[in-house]
Amino acid sequence: MKIGDKIQGRVTGIQPYGAFVELETGATGLIHISEIKTGYVENIHQHLKVGQEVLVQVVDYDEYSRKVSLSIRTLEEEKQKMPRHHRFTSDRHKIGFAPLAKKLPRWVKEAKAFLKEEQETS
């Protein structure tokens, strides 16, 4: 067993701080209440029941003490990955700064005219 493994298990006990899960490997782990779902969990019994089959991900494993920390939340977040954000210019059109370079002389001319007008009125 290693961190990141996805393992099937069965809930064997529920406490206010989390749920104990017997894994198919024979080990027992804990799903902390903060690892049940994204957001605030007020009542753990609304989300898990004793005897319920769950798919969990190993988030920490101590080989010495054989303690396993588990998460359902990481699997939920994995399904809802953010879509790729698009940049200012499209990858298909390699135009870069060409539109800005094309307009720069006009902007410089307008800025000079504005400054000259401001200077004359002062």
Query: What would the DSSP string read from start to end of the chain?
Result: --TT-EEEEEEEEEETTEEEEEETTS-EEEEEGGGSSSS--S-GGGT--TT-EEEEEEEEEETTTTEEEEESHHHHHHHTPPPPPP-SS-SSS--TTHHHHHHHHHHHHHHHHHHHHHHHH-
Domain residue ranges of the chain, discontinuous segments joined by +: 6-79
Cα-to-chain-centroid distance, residue 43: 23
Cα-based distances in Å from 100 to 86, 89, 94, 95: 19, 12, 14, 10
Do residues 69 and 32 touch, judged by C-beta distance below 8 A? yes
Which tens digits make up the pLDDT trace of 10-59? 999 999 999 999 999 888 999 999 999 888 888 999 999 999 999 999 99
32-46, 81-95, 101-115: range with lowest mean pLDDT: 81-95
Yes or no: is domain 6-79 CATH 1.10.10.10? Answer: no
Record the pTM. Answer: 0.62
